[in-house]
Structure 1
């Protein structure tokens, strides 16, 4: 997900004001009087809510040998909290630059208790939970009137609870930690004025909470290595204390066809199983492909006053991959090492939005489809064998975003816009049968993805760039 931040920074530069003449706004409503320049300077306080997903790699050699299991525990869930900050706005050759500091704290319910390994009646469970997290960050962005595109980075802290257990013959051994872990955070977002002193934002944060090594004696006393990495997707509402009130102009003209491209990142939380009934073996774990996405989109909008209704289709190439998951001891004698990818995907969605001046806030949802590939490199008494499975899946998607004018330092005209959006994608599940050694085996994979991306659009009906 970190690669996505570069795209957001470039879009922020493109949002700098242009000296080109503005077109007259389509008069859906009477434009109230407003200040010549929107000023972000001052204190603000607000609330936020969203969804988080962990990509926390565990390595545990519970038998004390030299071939640890490698797998991802992926705490997922909702959260909510508050933030407070201060902005300074100053001019530059790029246009108004905004510097800021922000601190936030969230209560969270991110958890994962679905990683279970059952091998010949020995059952091991791994669980993890984040009850709260917070950050203290700097922000820097480019202001295009009442729209701020920014990047952000700083300190992160969270409460992380980890549990492991092993049961056999009625005896259960357990291990647990409950600690506050600190690290760093980096992210990006878009914030836009809603009217008065209120603003709304959509934001992505990547939290790196460090690596820990503990001795977990649930079999033999052996190191349990954990890498805590969290992806945070959220929306926020801020109130600017003492700021100059913003009175939106008439809604921009969003009606008509548009065509564009996009770039972003994705993280998967693909619930998976490996079953070998004859042994018996039943493994429940996560595959966590992540990487870069990029593609094109086309759509059409209808507009009634400030309300915008639309349809949009897109197709993406993707580098999302998980080639670190290795179960069944990962030894030369017995291994199941995974290489899970999502080579491409696309969506066909409806959009429902509300235009505040020339900023469109929208929700979106519809059909999703994509290519799902899984390769399992196995070793057993018959030697190494590679199993490969490929499917084209369909499912659904839902998300939200913000779309605003895009001028690229004055080089582009009022036909261009940029959008930042989050999508949750569910591509359903697959079940594949094969022979492991000399006995039947079945592998399943349920594909769910979190995507955060930035796009640019060319509108053939020329949206209005309002004058600030």
Structure 2
């Protein structure tokens, strides 16, 4: 349900921007060219994760129920990439980006009824995107590729006779997403090279074990098997280095 809700919000936000970009293309004709080249981006947004987990003893799942927990929070992001306009209305590209923030939630060892707090502080991704120009200055695209996420460790509650903690854990997986990127010229201020990108992503990560240990000595004491999925919605400013060339995007 959350996936459908967030996806709906993202799509609802994209439609007015697409229409506005289309109107701009009608009022100020521009050549369908200039998207090829390097760019940098920076922005922020909101993220949500959910995770299935169970207590793990030496690779053997403990008997009893599993747990499902969630987390949410904000993040900043920076990235860059290269696009290639291979047809009048089609653009393909490769990119990489990093997210850093505090998307915080609960981690649980349900067999032992312990729980703690874990936060997705760092994620990075690399992938490809393919888009179509809704107007000369607005690109609607889909993307996908590799993603990595780091989660922090914490103490566990309720505190047992011997206090326990859980270590940080690291996950590799994949993502898919989509968005719209449009020139900032629609603000009425000439801004060659500057664009705005609104994007939604869904990421699915592999199951990894987060080691539990005795807080005082570091001695191992079982583990928590943790498998998260994550969703993000972000808005970024983009600077395209090709935009000051003759015939570039946003100059006409």
Query: Of Structure 1 and Structure 2, which has the larger fraction of its residues in helix?
Result: 2
What's the CA shift for 1:255? Answer: 0.7
Match for residue 150 of structure 2?
371
Match for residue 339 of structure 1?
117
Cα distance in structure 1, aligned partners of 2:98 and 2:38? 17
Match for residue 190 of structure 1?
14
Match for residue 361 of structure 1?
140
Structure 2, gaps ≥5 residues long: 21-25, 215-219
Cα distance per residue 1:190-210 (max 9 Å; x no partner): 32587xxxx59xxxxxxxxxx
What's the CA shift for 1:289? Answer: 1.6
**Worse overlay, 453-462 or 387-396:** 387-396
Measured at CA, do residues 326 and 430 of structure 1 come closer, stay the same or move farther in structure 2, by a change above 3 Å? closer
Match for residue 170 of structure 2?
392
CA contact (8 A) 1:274 1:282 kept: no
Cα distance per residue 1:355-408 (max 9 Å; x no partner): 12211011101111121224351446624x131212332211110110001149
TM-score when scaled to structure 2? Answer: 0.77
Measured at CA, do residues 281 and 374 of structure 1 come closer, stay the same or move farther in structure 2, by a change above 3 Å? farther
> What SS does structure 1 have at the residue aligned with 2:207?
strand
Cα distance per residue 1:119-173 (max 9 Å; x no partner): xxxxxxxxxxxxxxxxxxxxxxxxxxxxxxxxx9xxxxxxxxxxxxxxxxxxxxx
CA contact (8 A) 1:375 1:386 kept: no
Match for residue 421 of structure 1?
199
Match for residue 272 of structure 1?
53
What's the CA shift for 1:286? Answer: 1.7
* Paired residues, number: 235
TM-score when scaled to structure 1? Answer: 0.44
Query: Of Structure 1 and Structure 2, which has the larger fraction of its residues in strand?
Result: 1
Measured at CA, do residues 373 and 283 of structure 1 come closer, stay the same or move farther in structure 2, by a change above 3 Å? farther
Cα distance in structure 2, aligned partners of 1:351 and 1:268? 23
Q: Work out whether 1:308 is the aligned partner of 2:87.
A: no
Q: How big is the alpha-carbon RMSD for the aligned residues of Structure 1 and Structure 2?
A: 3.8
What's the CA shift for 1:337? Answer: 2.2
> What SS does structure 1 have at the residue aligned with 2:206?
strand
Measured at CA, do residues 192 and 396 of structure 1 come closer, stay the same or move farther in structure 2, by a change above 3 Å? same
Cα distance in structure 2, aligned partners of 1:392 and 1:403? 31
Match for residue 240 of structure 2?
459
CA contact (8 A) 2:53 2:109 kept: no
Cα distance in structure 2, aligned partners of 1:370 and 1:188? 28
